[in-house]
Amino acid sequence: MRELYPEIEPYLTYRLAVDDIHELHVEECGNPDGLPVVFLHGGPGAGVSAYHRRFFDPRRFRIVLFDQRGAGKSTPHADLRNNTTWHLVDDIEAIREHCGVERWVVFGGSWGSTLALAYAQTHPERVLGLVLRGIFLGRPAEVRWFNELDGGARWIFPERWAHFLAHIPVEERGNMVEAYWRRLDSDDQAVRLAAARAWGYWEGGSTTLVHDPQEPGIFEDPQAAIGVARAEVHYFRHGVFLEPDQLLRDVERVRHIPATIVHGRYDIICPVKNACDLAEAWPEAGLHIVLAGHSAADPAIVDVLVQATDSLADRYI
């Protein structure tokens, strides 16, 4: 089993203004002369973490990571103005141009896989390869699966679902996403934070293969919880700013690009059918279904992801 590369610090950190509102936190790691790769984090709204740098051989890759609009260290925090899938696609291009990169590898997991596909289908001439994990295609059924009463995830994690459900009055439970939005958009900071913590407890503790119902989740930090919850609900209630089945419809634009798809068999947040649907539309891509949940840190997922990035380095260096 391949493991993550050793911990590494950025050799360059900077801020990039992408419009009159938003300024992105960007960092570069590894070899400044290496094969360029951009890392697209999940969420939306989650931001990058130090371990995200470690999926790439630092001797061979120029690793570019950034916090998307309103996420992590980007500013203004949790701001949803001018914040859509297509604004983020434009931001990736702005970073590429700022870096002076002609073409690069695109790596994304969960929401990052959605964004990676949207970017690659818009700018296929800029993409050397795709590494996609925990596929989320942004379809309404996928959002409902995890967040609504007629979805299936509540049957898998009933203890967590009970907590998620209890935050919303009975009369509003027919549309949980909208009910949470009303609270996350409240002028009352305490109301916003309580909703964000409930949202984060449901999602943040449901990522791993080995599940502990008492695990508090990964979004207990107030600032992170509000940023992630507001961004996710904003995107979900707008259909992820995609046309119906858009990412599957437009796969033809990227079928020539080397691609690896890895998905946990027991991923409850993004069911494995998402990856199977993508692979059916894209037979040239390598599909790996492994014994894991949703988390990129699950060992079986790490193994395939590191193999995939090493393979692209072998191919292009």
| Residues noted as catalytic | 110, 267, 294
Q: Read off the tokens for 138.
A: 């942004």
In 3D space, the residue among 287, 145, 143, 296 whose CA is nearest the CA of residue 207 turns out to be 296
Identify the three-state secondary structure at position 289.
Answer: strand
- Spatial separation of the C-alpha atoms in residues 11 and 265, rounded to whole Å: 36
Is residue 232 within 8 A of residue 143, CB to CB? The reply is no
In 3D space, the residue among 286, 290, 310 whose CA is nearest the CA of residue 300 turns out to be 290
Is residue 105 within 8 A of residue 60, CB to CB? The reply is no
- Spatial separation of the C-alpha atoms in residues 131 and 107, rounded to whole Å: 5
DSSP state of 5: P
The secondary structure of 171-213 as a DSSP string is: GGTT-HHHHHHHHHT-S-HHHHHHHHHHHHHHHHTS-SSS--T
Q: Which residues pair with 62 in a beta bridge?
A: 30, 36
In 3D space, the residue among 65, 90, 69, 74 whose CA is nearest the CA of residue 9 turns out to be 65
